[in-house]
Amino acid sequence: MASYTYTQTIDTLTTAAIDEATKDLANLVNEGGEKVLKKMQSKGRIFVVNDAEKVKHPVLYGSGSTLLFDPDTFAGASGTGISGHAAEEIMSFAQFHMSAGTRNINYPQAMPAGNHIPYISNAIKMHMMDILNLEEKQFLVGNADGSTHAIVGAFVGDGGYDATLPTNLIGIVDTTASSRFAGIAWDDEATLAHWKAGTAVATADSPDEMSEWGPTLDAAILDCSYSETERPDWFLTTQAVYKNLLTALRAKSQINDAVLANLGTTTEVPYAGVTVDWSRYLVKDALWNVGAGTAAFNPLVGINTNSLRLNVVAGGGVSDGKLGFVQKVGSTQTHAAATQLFDRVQYKRCWSLDGGRRSFVQVEGITT
């Protein structure tokens, strides 16, 4: 059997390193440590899809018409029989635009002496983790670099639609920027009301006792729960709000020993069938006032992880068994005005909902 050989060039090593780093997306996400992506991975909600302009999910459009009749006489409930029973269109589609990203991976022309494989592999891995970090910030905050808040729609015609960015968390829960989401006019069709996000109101603007936290979370959970799968199961908020909740739980001895034992290993706190967590990227902003207003509110967002999904397009290029979500474009190039080499990479992805968005909710009114 012939031994395996390789050509130790930057071009070949970069392609191999990209495939190696991204073929196991679960491991890359776990090592990257990004909270939302890690949650999606643990729930099996990151999907590899075919390259396309958009992702489409079927939506129940209306209820259709069901005829109840006597099988012996074919007489319907109204006594008119089955004649004239009109068929109805029952299916539509929610549409989510796929957007792409690209970047250069730079190398010095004078590479370190010795084996280049570890150097390039580590460089690629850092770039992949940086891409995941940016994806997390874009989803939670919304603009291109994740530094300021913005509403991003899911499909052309939605409020805040941006052809270069996938939809984000504010875009999912907001109902003021547009009457459309994922191409669906949710305010025009009563039958599509499950595509309008939920809104709850905090009992107090600065809840710090369970007498205030309890009704606030209870209303958000119960009002947006429609089944065991169509319900919020994970709440994200700021660190400050999360601390207030912990203080209230401890004051009322609501945290039992089993939960206390895990507080050093996880940030999530269970409450009434959901878990509450915080993100370092979330901050108070007027856009979290999704019920229309100018006051800046803290985000306290109920997410249905059974509906939310991240769709990535397979890239790669070494072998069919190693297709990651990042793809190298062309060969290694030399910078025109710098003593560096670079490889250009690209990737394509979108966030989508395949179970409606009425199970997503923003709790409004928390100011501190």
Q: Mark out the alpha helices in 141-202 (DSSP H runs).
A: 169-173
Inform me whether the pLDDT recorded for 363 exceeds 50.
yes
Q: How many CA atoms lie within 13 A of 230 on its CB side?
A: 14
219 pLDDT higher than 50: yes
Give first-to-last CA distance, the chain, whole Å: 68
Higher-confidence residue of 166 and 270: namely 166
The DSSP code for 192 is: G
Q: Quick one: 161 exposed, middle or buried, by C-beta within 10 A (0-12, 13-18, 19+)?
A: buried
Structure tokens of 316? Answer: 């790669």
Other CB atoms closer than 10 Å to residue 56's CB: what's the count?
Answer: 17
pLDDT bin (cut points 50, 70, 90) of residue 2 is very low
What are the CA-CA distances from residue 34 to residues 55, 74, 137, 243, 285 (Å)?
A: 24, 60, 9, 20, 22
158 CB contacts (<8 Å, ≥6 apart)?
A: 167, 171, 178, 180, 181, 182, 183
Instruction: Flag whether pLDDT at 209 surpasses 70.
Output: yes
| 291 has a pLDDT exceeding 70 | yes
What was the pLDDT predicted at 354?
A: 92
Residue pair 36/279 in contact by the 8 Å Cβ criterion? yes
pLDDT at 339 over 90: no
d(CA 210, CA 357): 28
Q: What number is the average pLDDT over the span 127-133? A: 90
In this model, does residue 265 exceed pLDDT 60? no
Token representation of residue 329 = 């474009």
Q: Mean pLDDT, the chain, as a whole number?
A: 83
- Higher-confidence position of 4 and 231: 231
Q: Tokens 């005005």 — which residue?
A: 337
pLDDT digits (tens, 9 = 90+) for 49-88: 888 899 999 987 766 667 776 777 666 655 455 555 566 6
Average of per-residue pLDDT across 205-215: 92
Dist CA 213 CA 255 (whole Å): 14
**Higher per-residue confidence, 243 vs 9:** 243
How many C-beta atoms surround the C-beta of residue 350 within 10 A? 23
Predicted confidence band of residue 9 (pLDDT cuts 50, 70, 90): confident
> What integer is the mean pLDDT of 111-124?
80
- pTM, full prediction: 0.86
- Where residue 239 falls among pLDDT bands split at 50, 70, 90? very high
Torsion of CA 65, 69, 74, 75, to 10 degrees: -100
The whole-number pLDDT of residue 316 equals 56
Residue with tokens 């501190």: 368
Q: Who wins on pLDDT, 46 or 335?
A: 46
Strand, coil or helix: what is 212?
Answer: helix
Percent of the chain with pLDDT over 90: 42
Maximum CA extent, the chain: 89
pLDDT cut 70: percent of the chain above it: 83
pLDDT at 319 (0 to 100): 47
Pairwise pLDDT comparison (68 vs 192), residue with the higher score = 192
Q: How far is CA 341 from the centre of its chain?
A: 34
pLDDT of residue 77: 55
Domain boundaries, the chain: 10-58+94-364
What is the per-residue pLDDT across 293-312, written as a single tens digit (0 to 9) for each? Answer: 789 999 999 999 999 999 99
Q: Which residue has the higher pLDDT, 108 or 37?
A: 37
Residue 28 pLDDT level (bands cut at 50, 70, 90): confident
Answer for the pair 312, 347: CB distance below 8 angstroms, yes or no: yes
Residue 308 pLDDT? 97
Q: Residue 325 to residues 48, 55, 56, 131, 143: CA-CA distances in angstroms?
A: 8, 16, 19, 11, 22
- Take residue 271 and report the two structure tokens written for it: 């409450």
How confident is the model over 106-129, as a mean pLDDT? 81
pLDDT at position 3:
42
Given a contact cutoff of 8 angstroms between Cβ atoms, the answer to whether 146 and 170 are in contact is no
